[in-house]
Amino acid sequence: MKYTEIKDLYKFIFKSYDKPFLKEHIKKFIELDEYLPYSSTFFCVTNTQDLTFEYISKNYTSCLGLDANELKVHGMRSLWSRIHPDDVDAWLNALNSLMEFTLAEIPKNKRKDANYTWNFRMRNSDEVYVNIIQNTTPLVFDSESKPIIGLAHYTVLDPNIKMDITASAKLLNTNNEYETLFFSNFSQKLLNDGISNRERDVIRLLVLNKSSKEISRTLSISSHTVDTHRRNILRKLNISSTGELVGMLKMNQHWL
């Protein structure tokens, strides 16, 4: 989807919402951030409509050594480009499964009480892949009760810790305690699905918005081979089209 199309969609969806409501939320987060101590956790307010960050906390730089302004300017694709290539397909599969579970199993009137956690590896300023555990709570929903604004906390762990990519969904019960409704290990699933190293390369380039011709040139393979890999990827990840594969990112970035 082109930037102009995303921008138009953002305006269309948000015209039904009280904009000061969101601004007031962000204002409170900024005020809170001034008092929070430096730690190994940073948070962002994510916007799925234009794939940007409404706010990035001060700990982003202290945790990763990266410039928050660069992330603010380039949006979510800047973050995606730093995810470990070997984690991309499991990460996508996890996000897709969480979205499918939410739409199928969590009633619309309860989605405001949902909370989501998953993990991946991300490259810091020293070019080291550190472990990231992400925990996200939806803040604002569209007319179909899909989350479009989220509060995401990222905890940075030592790169030497070996972690499978897992994902979970929790929901507040009547006692205001979180109960786990969904949990799955996606590293093991992808191992069982038999995603090849070459297919991982293709997925990584698709996530970076590369065309089949660009993938063909980058990997020094024919366009026909790229198309074969794409078909196999869709089958193994149970996705109907490559457009859905890339579009899935937009649908799920309230968890980022």
* Residue recorded with tokens 């604004």: 149
Of the two residues 7 and 176, the one the predictor is more confident about is 176
Mean pLDDT of 228-242: 78
In a domain, 223, yes or no: no
The residue with greater pLDDT, 200 or 41, is 41
The confidence score (pLDDT) of residue 67 equals 95
Predicted confidence band at 246 (pLDDT cuts at 50, 70, 90)? low
**CB distance 123 to 132 below 8 Å:** no
Q: Does any domain span residue 237?
A: no
Residue 165 resides in a domain: yes
The answer on pLDDT for 249 being more than 80 is no
Give the per-residue pLDDT at 7: 44
User: Residue 130's pLDDT band (boundaries 50, 70, 90)?
Assistant: very high
Structural domain contains residue 203:
no
Note whether residue 208 is domain-resident. no
The pLDDT tens digits of the residues spanning 102-129 come to 888 999 889 989 999 999 999 999 999 9
**For residue 6, pLDDT beyond 60:** no
The pLDDT score that the predictor gives to residue 16 is 41
Q: How far is CA 227 from CA 120, 178, 199, 221, in A?
A: 27, 43, 11, 10
Residue 200 belongs to some domain of the structure: no
Judged against a pLDDT cut of 70, whether residue 162 lies above it is answered with yes
Average pLDDT across the chain, whole number:
82
CATH of the domain at 117: 3.30.450.20
- Name residue 112's amino acid: K
Nearest to 5 by CA among 50, 71, 54: 50
* 244 within domain boundaries: no
In a domain, 14, yes or no: yes
Domain that holds residue 184: 3-191
Q: What is the C-alpha separation between 123 and 199, in angstroms, rounded? A: 21
Count of the separate structural domains present in the chain: 1
Strand partners of residue 137 = 151
